[in-house]
Amino acid sequence: MSFDQLETELAERRAAHLYRRRRLLESPQGPEIVVDGVRGLAFCSNDYLGLANHPALKQALIDGAERFGVGGGASHLVMGHSSAHHQLEEALAEWTGRPRALLFSTGYMANMGAINALIDKRDAVFQDRLNHASLLDGGLLSGARFQRYLHNDVTSLEQRLARTDARRKLVVTDGVFSMDGDIADLPALSAVTRQAGGWLMVDDAHGFGCLGPQGGGCVEHFGLGIDEVPVLVGTLGKAFGTAGAFVAGSEALIETLIQHARSYIYTTSMPPAVAWATLSSLKLVRDESWRRDKLNTLIALFRQGASALGFELMDSPTPIQPILIGEASEALRISQALEDEGIFIGAIRPPTVPAGSSRLRVTFSASHSEEHVLRLLDALERVGRPRA
């Protein structure tokens, strides 16, 4: 069988400005990066607190490798659950105020694993239509009746919940939406979910580290406990600056995941040295609140400047500050023009976002300076064209 068909599909994708290509990052993450041999200012990482290249974390990774070796060597249930993993799980449980936490190798796997351990074809899953792909994929794979509700719309969720007689009802939402930057209305979502006898699962990949006085994310921001959010997911590759993810919740939840989450059971544990480094990272996330304060200063400076230039921003108080452009071709043009000015910002296009809502996904990090933000605004003024 030939691959001509695939070639044709790829060509069509290219013609529609939807082709995805990888770039070669030749430096650590940071405000200034080297991409394909070119140095520039970056506003496209999820390293929100500027920890991915922090000296204390690098040293902890080295120390962890000395103590535990490099590879996990086996799955958690065979012989790959090291004391580094265990200590990190205990620290994450304490920090999130939950009895237990369970580590996964990636956030994608945490979401797939948790959803599929909790529900099957006897059940129903309700998802915000802008949820991350890993949540949507997890729901589809589960075989449960799959329903999407309107973005952050509690009434839309309530109506769907009222119409189901499923055994279990799992409501799933991003905490901070990854492509829009807005925060889910967790108090209201939790109230209607509990009223319907369901469980609320929150993936706060982008909220942990950034929101809440101690970086405890959306649940700390709203002051929600385990009764309101019984299934809480966080990732470690973003504000934590390392890699992996965790699910936090009750004893029964975590034991159920250990028994049934296939993406937990059938995979090698994350390198223990990464878990060890993440213990150091957790201390910085919790204690160095100046990083969150700095982010908020940068975000305010950007929003004020970009609005004054006429750009359409989204209703986001978080380090994810998309500029809405519209057409994929125009988003690509601006992203390329910015790159010609030495500024890297990703153009996000369908199917990651709905058609007609292509955007520049500007993300800030505590390692940026105010001068960096002013450089960005200056370049936007020159090359960007606000939406008519």
| Residues in binding site for pyridoxal 5'-phosphate | 107-108, 178, 206, 235
Which single residue brings its beta carbon nearest to ligand PMP?
107
State the DSSP H helix or E strand holding residue 91, giving kind and residue range, or none if neither: helix 83-96
Q: Which is nearer to ligand PMP, 79 or 133 (CB)?
A: 133
Is residue 161 within the footprint of ligand PMP (CB under 6 A)? no
- Rounded to whole angstroms, what are the CA distances from 136 to 131, 133, 208? 7, 5, 21
Q: Which stretch binds ligand PMP (CB under 6 A): 4-12, 31-39, 102-110, 298-306?
A: 102-110
Least distance between ligand PMP and beta carbon 133 (Å): 8
Is residue 128 within the footprint of ligand PMP (CB under 6 A)? no
Instruction: Name every residue whose Cβ is closer than 8 Å to that of residue 319 and which is 6 or more positions away in sequence.
Output: 48, 181, 206, 210, 295, 299, 363, 364, 365
CB atoms near residue 318 (< 10 Å): 23
Q: Which is nearer to ligand PMP, 183 or 379 (CB)?
A: 183
- Rounded to whole angstroms, what are the CA distances from 323 to 31, 92, 331, 373? 19, 34, 9, 14
Cα separation, 126 vs 121, whole angstroms: 14
Q: Is 190 a catalytic residue?
A: no
Least distance between ligand PMP and beta carbon 374 (Å): 28
Q: Which is nearer to ligand PMP, 105 or 380 (CB)?
A: 105
Number of residues that bind ligand PMP (CB under 6 A): 14
Q: Is 280 a catalytic residue?
A: no
Q: Which is nearer to ligand PMP, 106 or 384 (CB)?
A: 106
* Annotated binding residues for substrate: 20, 132, 352
Is residue 123 within the footprint of ligand PMP (CB under 6 A)? no
Asked if residue 114 lies in contact with residue 138, where contact means CB atoms within 8 angstroms, the answer is yes
Cα separation, 91 vs 280, whole angstroms: 11
> Among 122, 97, 129, which Cα is nearest to 228's?
97
Least distance between ligand PMP and beta carbon 110 (Å): 7
| Residues of span 230-259 touching ligand PMP by CB under 6 A | 235, 237, 245
> Among 173, 186, 160, 193, which Cα is nearest to 132's?
173
Is residue 116 within the footprint of ligand PMP (CB under 6 A)? no
Is residue 98 within the footprint of ligand PMP (CB under 6 A)? no
Is residue 127 within the footprint of ligand PMP (CB under 6 A)? no
> Among 242, 243, 268, which Cα is nearest to 72's?
268
Which position among 54, 238, 368, 372 bears the catalytic label?
238
The two structure tokens encoding residue 254? 């975590």
State the DSSP H helix or E strand holding residue 234, giving kind and residue range, or none if neither: strand 231-235
Q: Is 238 a catalytic residue?
A: yes
Q: Which is nearer to ligand PMP, 177 or 276 (CB)?
A: 177
* Annotated binding residues: 20, 107-108, 132, 178, 206, 235, 352
Q: What is the dihedral of CA 362, 349, 127, 313, to 10 degrees?
A: 40
| Residues of span 167-226 touching ligand PMP by CB under 6 A | 174, 178, 203, 205-206
Q: Which is nearer to ligand PMP, 111 or 318 (CB)?
A: 111
Q: How, if at all, do strands 358-363 and 320-326 pair? A: antiparallel
Active-site residues: which are they?
Answer: 178, 206, 238
- Please report, as ranges, the residues that interact with ligand PMP according to CB under 6 A: 106-108, 111, 132, 134, 174, 178, 203, 205-206, 235, 237, 245
